Amino acid sequence: MTNHAPRGVAARSAVAAKYLSLVAASAATLLPLAVVLMAALKTGPESADSGPLSPPHDWFNLHNFQVAFTQGHMLRAFGNTAFILVFSVTGTVLIGSMTAYAIDRFRFPFRKLTVSLFLLASLVPGVTTQVATFQIVNSFGLFNTRWSAIALYTGTDIVSIIIFLQFMRAIPVSLDEAARIDGASPLRIYRTVILPLLRPAIATVVIVKGVVVYNDFYIPFLYMPSPELGTVSTSLFYFKGPYGAHWEVICAGAVLVIVPTLVVFLFLQRFIYNGFTRGATK
């Protein structure tokens, strides 16, 4: 695959076209983001007068970030999102691994039916049933609490169950048997044998689920309208009203929300790619 033999003109222009397409795609991806970053660094009058492609006068003007952070209550937003994130991700890991453990390691009546129930549910897109789900969440008294989002993120995640099932198969049954002969109960086996061995699967689920929860707008918007419960998504969304004409503040808010994602991405790149390939294809 790596032949560096002399190439003809046709081969060379094919290589040029390939790089050209890659550079064009990168420009199309990065330009909208770069422009927003520049807008966030401009002062109010500057942003009104200058074109979007012109750079800011002062690359270290952080005033807009300060406004967005304090007046947009972003600290509270990050707090609410972190709270929801921790509980939903933990819940998803526990529920997914328990389900996979029960299904993979035990033979019991209605096992096939149970599996089909989980699989069938994966065909129902969450957005379609929201009208009816709303009534249920409401009847539990969860509406306008952070538990509504936690319950919904935790309760409906079939993808993670499938990921755990895939990994569970790779764990030799002889390990559980050895533990059982030593007198360990199923709960103890699950806790001390299975969960630690599922670590790669847990990493995958934490990443995939974490991205979904951090970025979701639909559920907090519908179920947690109270401003004190604003998440990163909804708090940013409410910038639209008061700062409608102040692009420099809106852009600063968007950058504030994007930066944590970028940092995590740069540090965990390899795991993130693996997470998504495993999450969706297997």
Q: Which of residues 227-266 bind another protein (CB under 8 A)?
A: 232-234, 236-237, 239-240, 247, 250-251, 253-254, 257-258, 261-262, 265
Residue 32 C-alpha from the chain's centroid: 21
∠ CA 220-221-223, nearest 5°, is 60
Site for another protein in 179-218 (CB under 8 A): 186-187, 190, 211, 214-218
C-beta of 128: minimal distance to another protein in Å?
4
The pattern of x and - marking residues 45 through 84 that bind another protein according to CB under 8 A reads ------xxx-------------------------------
Cβ(231)–Cβ(80) under 8 Å? yes
Residue 93 within binding range of another protein, rule CB under 8 A: no
- Nearest by Cα to 156 from 184, 136, 181: 136
State the DSSP string of 120-180.
HHTTS-GGGGHHHHHHHHHHTT-TTSHHHHHHHHHHT-HHHHHHHHHHHHHS-HHHHHHHH
Nearer to another protein, 22 or 75 (CB): 22
Nearer to another protein, 86 or 120 (CB): 120
Nearer to another protein, 222 or 229 (CB): 222
Interacting residue with another protein among 12, 16, 20, 33 (CB under 8 A):
33
Location of structure tokens 């299975």? 194
Site for another protein in 106-165 (CB under 8 A): 106, 108, 111-112, 114-115, 117-119, 121, 123-125, 127-136, 151-152, 154-156, 161-162, 165
Residue 30 within binding range of another protein, rule CB under 8 A: yes
C-beta of 73: minimal distance to another protein in Å?
15
Alpha-carbon distance of 228 to 214, in angstroms, equals 17
C-beta of 70: minimal distance to another protein in Å?
19
Residues 6+ apart with CB under 8 A from 203: 271, 275
Alpha-carbon distance of 21 to 195, in angstroms, equals 45
Nearer to another protein, 39 or 201 (CB): 39
